[in-house]
């Protein structure tokens, strides 16, 4: 599902800039369109500007320049409580002096909703997160995962069209986090709401999102569906930030269309797909995923260039085997092999040749 930028986008950032100190920009010329019903994740290292963007959307920060539109209306001057956006906070921010039920009633009360209607909605929201029996508990009496669910229910109980989530699963252990990822995704699909989700966990971003916006240095580096992001990173930052990655530095030897021949610093030639390199003789960083590296000639395309490698270490990981290789002078080149019946056994010190399909090696900016 790819949502193209268009004028009727549900959420739109147009040339948004943000500076806290008047000296440096935290967000540099952000343009982002989010479609109705989309699950968009803002992913990036800390300090990349993703949380600032979320806070501007929620209304807790004001844009220094540019426009933020919600459903076609400029909301720069609309105070947070009039935006009608649900939000889940990093530490849930459940009001400690109120019971779960009171927490959920809060957004309904401030909207002047009658008691009966309120209770029906609260019941429905609690049932939705399987917490129906906990209405009279206080937040402090709940586990982290239960608090998470309540925070989610509170953000949804007043039927917002847009829900923002700021690293909502950061405080949970791995197993619970994966379970909650699934539940949030499920809720999103069932309710048809638009979700903007901020995280620094790439696994989370890839699992849940329709599209992921990778942030770095105040800019969106790439905005794409998860598969594209992983398999077709458009620059070396995205390639390295998402998933595991082998990188080889070299110079463009030949360039025809999107086919490139790259000469490594140590002299070997390899095949690659040109992504954002412009001319012959230019420096490039070639990125290859470990699971796309092959060492059996029958698995490589005919005529592919191969390079010499030496096995440094084999790590047994159950479902896969991980070989650390010495390639082109560096010894951090990784190759992953499926642990299938009859898989060739490699031993440290063994000399092999490795190669790959040209489309799996992406020649990127250095």
66 scored as a contact of another protein (CB under 8 A):
no
Member of 15, 20, 60, 173 binding another protein (CB under 8 A):
60
**With binding defined as CB under 8 A, does residue 84 bind another protein?**
yes
Q: Is 61 in the site for another protein (CB under 8 A)?
A: no
Question: Which CB, 154 or 362, lies closer to another protein?
Answer: 154
Residue 206 in tokens:
């890839």
Applying the rule CB under 8 A, the residues between 144 and 163 that interact with another protein are: 154-155, 158
CA distance 39 to 210: 5
Taking the complex as a whole, the smallest distance from the CB of residue 155 to another protein amounts, in Å, to 8
Burial of 304 (0-12, 13-18, 19+ CB in 10 A): middle
Give the number of other CB atoms < 10 A from CB of residue 201.
15
Closest distance of CB 95 from another protein, Å: 6
Selected from 95, 301, 329, 344, the binder of another protein by CB under 8 A is 95
Residue 64 CB, nearest distance to another protein (Å)? 20
Residue 20 lies near another protein (rule: CB under 8 A): no
Residue list 104-143, contact with another protein (CB under 8 A): 106-107, 110-111
Picking from 166, 184, 210, the residue whose alpha carbon sits closest to that of residue 38 is 210
By CB under 8 A, tell whether 338 contacts another protein: no
Q: Number of residues in contact with another protein, rule: CB under 8 A? A: 28
Rounded Cα distance between 342 and 318, Å, is 15
- The residue among 150 and 337 lying less far from another protein, judged by its C-beta, is 150
Tokens of 152: 């989610």
Angstrom distance (rounded) from CA 26 to CA 259: 37
Outline where the chain has alpha helix (H).
Answer: 50-58, 100-109, 115-128, 144-156, 174-191, 202-208, 226-231, 236-241
Q: Is 22 in the site for another protein (CB under 8 A)?
A: no
- Judged by CB under 8 A, which of 9, 34, 58, 327 binds another protein? 58
Which of these ranges, 5-13, 40-48, 87-95, 325-333, lies near another protein under the rule CB under 8 A? 87-95
In the chain the beta strands, taken as DSSP E runs, fall at 11-18, 27-34, 39-43, 65-70, 73-74, 85-88, 162-166, 194-199, 211-216, 219-224, 246-256, 259-264, 269-274, 283-288, 307-316, 320-327, 330-338, 351-354, 361-364
- Applying CB under 8 A, which part among 17-25, 79-87, 217-225, 264-272 lies near another protein? 79-87
With binding defined as CB under 8 A, does residue 93 bind another protein?
yes
Q: Is 349 in the site for another protein (CB under 8 A)?
A: no
Number of neighbours of residue 341 by Cβ within 10 angstroms: 4
Q: Is 91 in the site for another protein (CB under 8 A)?
A: yes
As given in the structure block, the two tokens for residue 130 are: 């399987």
| Closest to another protein by CB, 76 or 344 | 76
Residues 228-287 touching another protein, rule: CB under 8 A, are: none
Task: Say which residues have a Cβ less than 8 Å from residue 194's Cβ, sequence separation at least 6.
Answer: 10, 11, 34, 35, 36, 37, 38, 39, 40, 161, 162, 163
168 binds another protein (CB under 8 A): no
- Out of 35, 44, 49, 59, the only residue in the binding site for another protein (CB under 8 A) is 59
Q: Which of 19, 90, 240, 266 binds another protein (CB under 8 A)?
A: 90
Binding site for another protein (CB under 8 A): 58-60, 79-87, 89-91, 93-97, 106-107, 110-111, 154-155, 158, 164
């Amino acid at each position: 599902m790819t949502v193209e930028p268009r004028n009727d986008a549900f959420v739109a950032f147009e040339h948004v800039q943000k500076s806290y100190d008047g000296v440096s920009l935290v967000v540099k010329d952000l343009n982002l369109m989010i479609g109705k019903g989309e699950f968009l994740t803002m992913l990036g290292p800390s300090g990349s500007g993703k949380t600032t963007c979320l806070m501007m959307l929620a209304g807790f920060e004001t844009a220094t320049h540019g426009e933020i539109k919600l459903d076609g209306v400029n909301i720069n001057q609309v105070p947070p409580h009039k935006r009608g956006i649900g939000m889940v906070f990093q530490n849930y921010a459940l009001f400690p002096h109120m019971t779960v039920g009171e927490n959920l009633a809060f957004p309904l009360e401030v909207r002047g909703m009658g008691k009966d209607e309120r209770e029906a909605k609260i019941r429905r929201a609690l049932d939705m997160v399987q917490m129906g029996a906990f209405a009279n508990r206080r937040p402090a009496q709940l586990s982290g995962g239960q608090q998470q669910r309540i925070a989610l229910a509170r953000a949804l109980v007043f039927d917002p069209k847009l829900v923002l989530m700021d690293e909502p699963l950061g405080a949970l252990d791995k197993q619970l986090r994966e379970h909650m990822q699934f539940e949030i995704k499920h809720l999103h699909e069932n309710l048809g709401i638009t979700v903007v989700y901020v995280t620094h966990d790439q696994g989370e971003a890839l699992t849940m999102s329709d599209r992921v916006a990778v942030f770095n240095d105040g800019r969106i580096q790439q905005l794409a569906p998860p598969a594209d992001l992983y398999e077709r990173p458009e620059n070396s930052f995205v390639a390295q930030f998402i998933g595991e990655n082998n990188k080889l530095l070299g110079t463009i030897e030949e360039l025809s269309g999107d086919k490139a021949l790259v000469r490594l610093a140590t002299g070997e030639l390899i095949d690659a797909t040109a992504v954002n390199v412009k001319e012959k003789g230019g420096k490039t960083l070639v990125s290859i995923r470990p699971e796309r590296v092959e060492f059996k000639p029958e698995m490589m395309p005919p005529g592919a260039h191969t390079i010499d490698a030496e096995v440094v270490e084999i790590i047994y990981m159950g479902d896969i085997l991980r070989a650390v290789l010495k390639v082109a002078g560096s010894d951090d080149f990784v190759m992953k092999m499926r642990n299938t019946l009859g898989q060739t056994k490699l031993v440290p010190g063994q000399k092999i040749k490795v190669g790959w399909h040209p489309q799996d090696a992406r020649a990127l900016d250095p």
